[in-house]
Structure 1
Amino acid sequence: MTDGADWLLISVSTAGGAATLRVHVWRKLRSLGALYLQQSVCLLPARPEVVKEVRRLADRVRHQGGTARVLRMTFTDPAEEQSVIAEFSTARDAEYAEVLERLPELRDELASEQARGNATYAEVEESEADLERFRTWLAKIAARDYFDAPGGAAAREAVGQAAAELAAFEEAALRAEAPEAPREVRP
């Protein structure tokens, strides 16, 4: 995102606002992947979907008694912009790493249940719910991964591998709980 690309510089104060406003602002900016430059001042790329969300947030802050400023800016130093982009990517890589750190629990659970001969429909349902949580989590990270952090590919691949392992587990559960009926043999 170089060559004079737009960025949003966002400054928010919730003083004078509702007690829950501060938490809402923090959560929303966090979900967008904002890079904090200092307390209450952050930076986001000025992409259409981000601009829309930030405008909504700023309006809410103002309507609830806080103050918000959203300024468009460009970097005058390409090296500084690249440094900021690197910070965004580092933050996303940390999130992808957490997915990779937690995913083995699901895969180990599948292997353990299968080894114990406990490949059941109930276990499949439970594991499907776990896998869906990983997929949702990964999608949220990807939505704020504006610069394609390197860790994204490994996280997507690992979730895909877990899905394949779950499919194999489900097949084993199907065989265990609904074995194929023997065919009639006609003379």
Structure 2
Amino acid sequence: MEEETQNGNFTFHEVEENEGNLEKLKRWLNKIPKRDFFSIPLSKQAEESLVLCETLFVEFTERVYQTEGNYEGDIQIN
């Protein structure tokens, strides 16, 4: 999202792509405790990073709607 923001690439396609990437990160984060045999203390940092990613995704999505058009559910009659 950082690169797309820098390039001004605010499209619905990017929202979908980034949403898929965010879902992958969530799935991976859920797998960490099952594979963490050494109880590494970085899981809290990983959770905080995911929260930041979610916040950035919401902000990016808002920017896309501002740039591309209406919010989901809005009906525009021409």
Q: TM-score, normalised by structure 1?
A: 0.35
- How does 1:26-105 map onto structure 2 within 5 Å? none
Query: In 1, distance between residues paired with 2:58 and 2:34?
Result: 26
Q: Which residue of 2 aligns with 1:125?
A: 16
Query: In 1, distance between residues paired with 2:18 and 2:58?
Result: 10
Query: In 1, distance between residues paired with 2:7 and 2:70?
Result: 18
Q: Which runs of 4+ in 1 moved over 4 A?
A: none
State the SS of the aligned residue for 2:9.
Answer: coil
Q: Which has the higher helix share?
A: 2
Structure 2: segments with no counterpart, 5+ residues: 72-78
Q: Which has the larger radius of gyration?
A: 1
Letter in 1 for 2:58: A
Identify the structure with bigger relative contact order (alpha carbons < 8 Å, sequence gap 6+). 2
Query: In 2, distance between residues paired with 1:153 and 1:111?
Result: 23
Letter in 2 for 1:159: L
State the SS of the aligned residue for 2:10.
Answer: coil
Letter in 1 for 2:64: A
Q: CA RMSD in A?
A: 1.9
State the SS of the aligned residue for 1:137.
Answer: helix
Q: Which residue of 2 aligns with 1:178?
A: 69
Structure 1: segments with no counterpart, 5+ residues: 1-109, 181-187
Q: TM-score, normalised by structure 2?
A: 0.78
